[in-house]
A and B are shown apart, each in its own frame.
Chain A
Amino acid sequence: MRSSLATRAVAVGVVAGLGIAAAGPAFAADPGVTSKQVVIGMTTPLTGPASPGYKDVAPAAQAYFDYVNANGGINGRKVKFVVKDDQYNPAKTKSATSELILRDRIFAMFGALGTPTHSAVIADLNRRGIPDVFVNTGSSNFDNPSRYPMTFPYFPSYVVEAKVMASYIQGDSALSGKKRCLFYQDGEFGENASKGFTAAGMSFDTTVSYFSGQQVAPFTAQVTNMKAAGCELVVFFGVTSATAQLLGTAAKAAFRPTWMITSVGSDPSVLSGSLGAATNTLLNGIYSPNFMTPIQDTKNAYVSQMKVIATKNNLPWNFYTYYGINTAYVLSQAIKAAGPNLSRKGLVNALQTKASSFRSGAVVPMVINSKSHQGLTGYYMGKYNASGELERITNYIMTATSSSKGTAKKSTFKPAGPTRKLLP
């Protein structure tokens, strides 16, 4: 009682005092944008347990924005990119985001990383009408334009990935007859994976799990169970550090099924950091879906040019760098498409109406409109070769939605080439 009365009293006082009572917000000038600059914010773990790999995304995006700024900016505006380290702690994400909004006056949020972390700020960003572009997570919950009109995921959700895996397994006679097992990380990975596989009508003979943080100890018990169950195809949904632990433990136990590993859990550069010399042997023959042109494919105009930007900035050439440059490139195109009179509403409109025209290293269509903010819609299936590189093995792609119904559909899609010199 006390607080609400007080609040009302104070609210009246403040509003009256500042003389802003009924004055509607000015649409002309959104915060964070002037004729010469646009301010973009990001929260991501730069230190702490979740930082390995992911800490490379922000410097990569920064490198791309530097490159754009050095070439005249976007519609004459330079990008000021403010990154805050949240250590993957939702409480810190909240503080960092508040500072980005209230002190740094960001125009838009970009590439905020993590499901629990972003859950703590997504409502606030949307209520304030701040574009929340290309959230860096595979959670399917953020694609909900009626609830989060400002939020735009980028990569296809784990649900889509599960549907794609199911579709591929069913269509490949070498895999469809195998005894299937599912191994997942408790929580979001497990929920999304089972949602996708259930929708696709795929069941597993055995399902085992681990808890986040358990990967410090070998997965001996889980591997024992899968081995005892006679698993021939193991589908794994988890983070890369757990993949490393799993492959190591399985090798030790002489457990050699066919593996299919989620894209976020299979970055070879990070895996080779953890697995060392044995990486290529362990990875060889593992299936993994992906949505971008394989990173080693330097004949590709996207890969070669993004690698140039990475090389110029002394960044390690791994999937996180590739991803960071790629999403920064797409965001820059969106800002450019929003036109010279940049506004938050304009950016949202550009994303919702022109997303399919944005060029990127992704090889699947991007669907963003007023009814769906899905982002990228599917995957191709890839397989690791003896050099530890992911090779694309389907010339078709498989697309799906994050809905609890429907399966993945095969289709062909040929992406357009990059813009001149990779400038927006």
Chain B
Amino acid sequence: MTSFIDYVLGGFGSGMIIALMALALVLTWRATRVVNFAQVGQAMFTTFIALSLQTLTGSWVIALVGAMVAGALLGVIVQYLVLRPVKRADTSGAIIATFGVLIALQAAAGMIWGGDSRAYPQPFGNTAITLFGREWPVSAYDLVVVGFAVILVVGLTLLFTRTNLGLAMRATAFNPEVARLSGIRVGRTLTIGWALAGIVGAVAGVLVAPTSAISPNSFDILLVFAFTAAVIGGLDSLIGAVALGIGTGLILSVVSGYSDSSNAPVVALVLLAVNLVLKPEGVFGHHKARSV
């Protein structure tokens, strides 16, 4: 039982990172009905920018803010230059276009910063917390990661439910034509959605970097986990992405703890398949009338 608790707590930190990345995927999906394969590439790129800023200024906060600004800009650029011209309904085309962006971003990062893994400085203590007479596999830094995730989810939820912008974004996501007719500036709304996703991805990148180092390909595997989490969570649901992201982290940790770690990807695949069979719209997907 004790080890179970440790496995769960240990998986929580990485689960949070997967959750944030899944959140970014959901934001782009809600905005433009596109699954953005380049999301991890954008996050990788902005994390390298943050690392450069950190080296330059020595400030973790400036680096984080810089990454968020860069993330927003990069999101807008990708959306404006690449996704806007692709037909809204062209799923395969959009997937391929974002895949192309991912390859280009990784190559560009390799050109600028080299292909080696780089350490990202640890801003806070990363040693186990001792409480109630035992050590827990949780550090102060983990708590900071959790704090950021909570702030982002609450903030985004408030944005979507309590503001005019959020209303406009939901309306646009639901039906851009109708939204346009009701006076919403659809193009701008979509762009803001991508900027938000870029910011969330950038935060995820900066947060994960100290524990895994950073290289042009170091976030690749995150894409798979985050995409899986976003899909099972129901691509429209912020809560779903976060819950399933954390869940994916926990499953990886618990499976690795109790059995051979090579079972983890297979277990993840089986859970994905089972989930999609039982809930084709995702666990947290809204049950809506079919379009036909």
Contacts and interface: CB of A to CB of B under 8 A. Distances in A.
Question: A interface, how many residues as a size bin?
Answer: 35 or more
Interface in A245-300: 245, 248, 251-254, 270, 272-279
Interface string B199-225: 000000000100111011111111000
Contact of B261 (A186, A218, A278, A279): A186
B175 interface: no
A186 B257 CA distance: 15
A251 B137 CA distance: 10
Interface stretch (A46-54, A66-74, A92-100): A46-54
B218 to A, nearest CB: 7
A345 interface: no
A220 interface: yes
Interface residues of B, number: 49
B276 interface: no
Contacts of A213: 221
B247 interface: no
A210 interface: yes
Contacts of B216: 47
Interface stretch (B76-84, B112-120, B148-156): B112-120
A218 B14 contact: yes
Interface string B118-133: 1111100011100000
Contact of B119 (A209, A211, A219, A276): A276
A215 to B, nearest CB: 7
A222 interface: yes
Interface string B129-142: 00000010101000
A220 B121 contact: no
A241 B126 contact: no
A216 B219 contact: yes
Given A248-B211, A276-B120, A216 B221 contact: yes
A113 interface: no
B45 interface: no
B110 interface: yes
A351 interface: no
A374 B257 CA distance: 37
Given A211-B264, A276-B121, A221 B127 contact: no
16 contacts: A47-B110, A52-B117, A186-B261, A209-B261, A217-B252, A217-B253, A219-B256, A220-B10, A223-B10, A225-B3, A228-B3, A241-B117, A251-B127, A252-B126, A273-B116, A277-B119
Interface of B: 2-3, 6-7, 9-11, 13-14, 106-107, 110, 115-122, 126-128, 135, 137, 139, 208, 211-213, 215-222, 249, 252-254, 256-257, 260-262, 264-265
- Identify the 10 closest CB pairs spanning chains A and B, nearest first: A220-B10, A276-B119, A221-B257, A217-B14, A274-B213, A49-B217, A221-B256, A224-B6, A211-B262, A186-B262
